[in-house]
Structure 1
Amino acid sequence: MLKELQESILSLKKERNAVILAHSYQSPEIQEIADFTGDSFALSVKAKDIDADTVLLCGVRFMADTVKILNPDKTVLLPNPAASCPMAHQIDPQRVKDYKTAHPDCCIVAYVNTSTRLKAQCDVCVTSSSAPKIVSRIPNEHILFIPDCNLGSWVQKLLPDKHLTLWDGHCPVHNQVTAEDCARMKALYPDAKLAVHPECPPEVVEQADLVGSTAEILQYASSREDDIIVGTEKTIADWLGLQFPTRRFPVLSKKLICHDMRMTTLSDVYHALEGSGGEEIVMEESLRLAAKRPIDAMIELNT
């Protein structure tokens, strides 16, 4: 039944001249039918080079929005309209607008894991991998870094000469990991390396052998022969276990499961391509251009 559904999806994809992009946190059966997998921004950039009419994004809403922002002429589909990211909506865009008015010399830096309306109020976007490099190149003395205070704390520690103002946003999944989790897992796997995402709290990050994005954790694990304690979404540990069956990749905490990322099913993908489900991403051109501005700044500062 699984294979039959996958074959039907591949047939529909060909009929619609579509491509399927899947975030690294998506289930294996979805990644198997995807044309490209990766983190949110890598997928958005990849879509620009694709000769297709339709892009189906298996992930959460802000990712599909970013694909549309960068690819306005393509039809962009989100298979499960309920799939969202709580962190993307933790900061009210009006709050940022008011802050900018009160602090006109401040540069507003937004993590790419944000809503389109929030991006539209910001100056520069960053990813978890590019944040230190981009922030280091911003000339402004005062920087408001939103929404993830954990990622911001990590960047601030790497760049002590910068002044970052942090607010109260965070990833509700990564933020649950504790220093006690680190101690427990290191005791269970004393020879393993610890690789964590910078969305984890500072007391977890400071114990890690590697702090990096999803892609960087995958690269780190793939380039070594050690066992790796994985401090990000469980899907990454599962994928590594399949790729390297003789090694161990325990998850740092059982809480590292993103339920929003797991909402999308093969049936959702099928119905979205068939036209009986999913949601086409549509946005006003003025909003798209406003949100594209900080993304363009990110690309410029990261080259």
Structure 2
Amino acid sequence: MEDDKDLAEEVRRLKRERRAVVLAHYYVDGAVQDVADYVGDSYGLAKQAAALDCDEIVFAGVRFMGESAKLLSPDKRVLMPAPDAGCPMAAMADVETIDRVRAAHPGIAVVCYVNSTAAVKAASDVCVTSSNAERIVAALPQRQIFFTPDRHLGHYLSEKLPDKEFILNPGFCPIHEAVQLSEIEEVKRAHPEARVLMHPECPQWVLGEADYVGSTAGIIKQAVEGDAPAYLIVTVCGVLHEIEKRTGGQGKRFYFPRTRPVCPNMRKVTLRKVRDCLRDGTGEVPLPPADVCTGARAALTRMLDLAR
């Protein structure tokens, strides 16, 4: 039976042989993060995918991430270790809804969160991530915004940008949606010294308990650079691997809600599957139809341009 050390060695060898780069999201297993060439949130990995010099990209994440990497690097082979790892939020948005909103509100800007399909991106004016959404939406000339698919990030943006008028798609992340206010209060009572760091995919009824609201990368930065002795992390618990790597020796303590936020789709990405897809060339991400490619790539490229 191969152990993680043997698998990691084989992954490193295969990367050299195939001129491959492994991109891993902060939410996947720590053993996968450790063999990755780049670890990041959706925005950071999108930037990397657009700039890489390699023949193959192995994307350790969920389907929309691999699809975005292929759109930004169409000449490269993009492989997914777990091609069945979807994103429930991405399935909560569709082109038909965008068409209805545009018909009812001529001139509205359609802004789609990166957690979306290529077809939804193609039907949108610009794509955003939680790292850059506020900056990009603020820069748009339109006052009316249709934000899809995440209603919670959309609501958060509406409070940050009161001069804009938002129409929100009713989608959400089931993991962040399930965060319980009572469990946040429970940790705060037990550890009043802990600073609360929360992702904007959480519902507004729990965001009020946060000391900081921001992207995955932002949460990690706060935990690493902050001067508090303890932190309550309110996002998918895979981030703890990177936080602990960067804070070793600082003596900081990290807590999660009693019901730990775990993404079952991110958990499908294992070190063995990374090795298998590199070795066998499985899980290749196809390019969408040409018209979808053109529109989706434009939305992603506009995001990268506006976020500079």
Q: Find the aligned partners of 2:69 and 2:29 in 1 and give their Cα distance.
A: 20
- Please name the residue that 2:234 is paired with: 231
| Deviation sequence 1:44-94 (CA, Å, 0-9, x none) | 211222211000000000000111111111101111111111001101222
Q: Find the aligned partners of 1:221 and 1:266 in 2 and give their Cα distance.
A: 26
Q: How far 1:167 moved relative to its partner? A: 2.0
- Please name the residue that 1:150 is paired with: 152
Paired residue type of 2:84 = A
Q: Is residue 103 from structure 1 mapped to residue 105 from structure 2 by the alignment?
A: yes
Q: Is residue 300 from structure 1 mapped to residue 305 from structure 2 by the alignment?
A: yes
Structure 1 pair 106–283 and aligned structure 2 pair: CA distance change class (3 A): same
The within-5 A match list for 1:136-285 is 136-226=138-228, 227-245=230-248, 246-275=251-280, 277-285=282-290
Q: How far 1:279 moved relative to its partner? A: 3.0
Q: How far 1:253 moved relative to its partner? A: 4.4
Find the partner of 2:60 among 55, 58, 64.
Answer: 58
Q: How far 1:136 moved relative to its partner? A: 1.1
Paired residue type of 1:77 = L
Q: Find the aligned partners of 1:48 and 1:108 in 2 and give their Cα distance.
A: 23
Q: Find the aligned partners of 2:12 and 2:211 in 1 and give their Cα distance.
A: 40
Q: Find the aligned partners of 1:23 and 1:148 in 2 and give their Cα distance.
A: 19
| SS of residue paired to 2:259 | coil
- Structure 1's unaligned 5+ residue stretches are none
Q: Comparing 130-139 with 193-202, which one deviates more in the overlay? A: 130-139
Q: Find the aligned partners of 1:130 and 1:282 in 2 and give their Cα distance.
A: 26
Do the aligned residues in 1 keep the contact of 2:22 with 2:59 (CA within 8 Å)? yes
Q: Find the aligned partners of 2:241 and 2:306 in 1 and give their Cα distance.
A: 34
Q: Find the aligned partners of 1:67 and 1:241 in 2 and give their Cα distance.
A: 28
Q: Find the aligned partners of 1:211 and 1:237 in 2 and give their Cα distance.
A: 17
Do the aligned residues in 1 keep the contact of 2:112 with 2:147 (CA within 8 Å)? yes
- Structure 2's unaligned 5+ residue stretches are none
| Deviation sequence 1:116-173 (CA, Å, 0-9, x none) | 1111111111111211111111111211111111101111111111100112100110
Find the partner of 1:128 among 115, 123, 130.
Answer: 130
Paired residue type of 1:38 = G
Paired residue type of 1:284 = P
- Please name the residue that 1:6 is paired with: 8
- Please name the residue that 2:39 is paired with: 37
Paired residue type of 1:292 = R
| SS of residue paired to 2:35 | coil
Do the aligned residues in 1 keep the contact of 2:74 with 2:287 (CA within 8 Å)? no
Q: How far 1:178 moved relative to its partner? A: 2.3
Paired residue type of 2:296 = A
Paired residue type of 2:208 = E
Q: Find the aligned partners of 1:81 and 1:302 in 2 and give their Cα distance.
A: 29
Q: Find the aligned partners of 1:109 and 1:266 in 2 and give their Cα distance.
A: 34
Q: Find the aligned partners of 1:253 and 1:19 in 2 and give their Cα distance.
A: 36
- Scaled by the length of structure 2, what TM-score is found? 0.94
| SS of residue paired to 2:200 | coil
- Scaled by the length of structure 1, what TM-score is found? 0.96
Q: Find the aligned partners of 2:244 and 2:280 in 1 and give their Cα distance.
A: 36
Do the aligned residues in 2 keep the contact of 1:21 with 1:55 (CA within 8 Å)? yes
Q: Find the aligned partners of 1:263 and 1:123 in 2 and give their Cα distance.
A: 32
Percent identity reads 37
Q: Find the aligned partners of 2:163 and 2:175 in 1 and give their Cα distance.
A: 30
The RMSD of aligned alpha carbons is: 1.4
| SS of residue paired to 1:99 | helix
- Please name the residue that 1:23 is paired with: 25
How many residue pairs get aligned? The number is 303
